[in-house]
């Protein structure tokens, strides 16, 4: 998978990322980094909001979610997504060093705080790409 994917018409389109974080400042900063790198970002402030978006958006290429959120945790969101979209790549952003036993090992992990270079490197590792963005 590259920074772009083929659309139904065979044209390239920017990868579509669903970004979930309850902290508006972190979410906005992360969305800016991703947009600057050429991604199309859809933002959600909670796991529940993310599920509503997932129900409407078929053309999502990646999920990035915080783990600690009120209501629905990132782990619970990931479990739900795995049932509905088992092949969707997922990156978990967390302030903790490990992913926990309730999160699959194929889920990427990025520790907070992070910079743009770290975010793009985590996406590169997750998607198996040589170069992504800046």
Q: CA–CA separation, 96 vs 112, rounded Å?
A: 8
Pairing of strands 90-94, 108-111: parallel
- The pLDDT tens digits of the residues spanning 31-75 come to 999 999 999 999 999 999 999 999 999 889 999 999 999 999 999
pLDDT of residue 118: 95
Closest to 37 (Cα-Cα) out of 8, 74, 4, 81: 4
72-93 pLDDT, tens digit per residue, is 999 999 999 999 999 999 999 9
Give the model's confidence band at 99: pLDDT under 50 very low, under 70 low, under 90 confident, else very high: low
| Separation CA 124–CA 128 (nearest Å) | 6
Domains of the chain: 12-127 (3.40.50.2300)
pLDDT for the residue 59:
87
Cβ atoms within 10 Å of 79's Cβ, excluding its own: 14
Peptide bond into 113 cis (omega under 30): yes
- Given this model, what pLDDT does residue 6 score? 41
3-state secondary structure of 77: helix
Between 111 and 8, name the one with better pLDDT: 111
């Amino acid at each position: 998978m590259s920074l772009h994917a083929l659309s139904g018409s065979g044209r390239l389109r920017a990868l579509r990322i669903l970004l979930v974080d309850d902290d508006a400042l972190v979410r906005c900063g992360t969305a800016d980094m991703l947009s600057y790198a050429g991604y199309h970002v859809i933002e959600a402030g909670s796991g529940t909001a993310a599920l509503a978006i997932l129900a409407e958006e078929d053309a999502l290429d990646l999920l990035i979610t915080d783990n600690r959120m009120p209501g629905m945790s990132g782990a619970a969101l990931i479990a739900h997504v795995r049932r509905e979209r088992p092949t969707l790549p997922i990156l978990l952003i967390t302030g903790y060093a490990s992913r926990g036993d309730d999160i699959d090992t194929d889920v990427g992990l990025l520790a907070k705080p992070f910079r743009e270079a770290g975010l793009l490197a985590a996406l590169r590792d997750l998607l198996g790409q040589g170069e992504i963005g800046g």
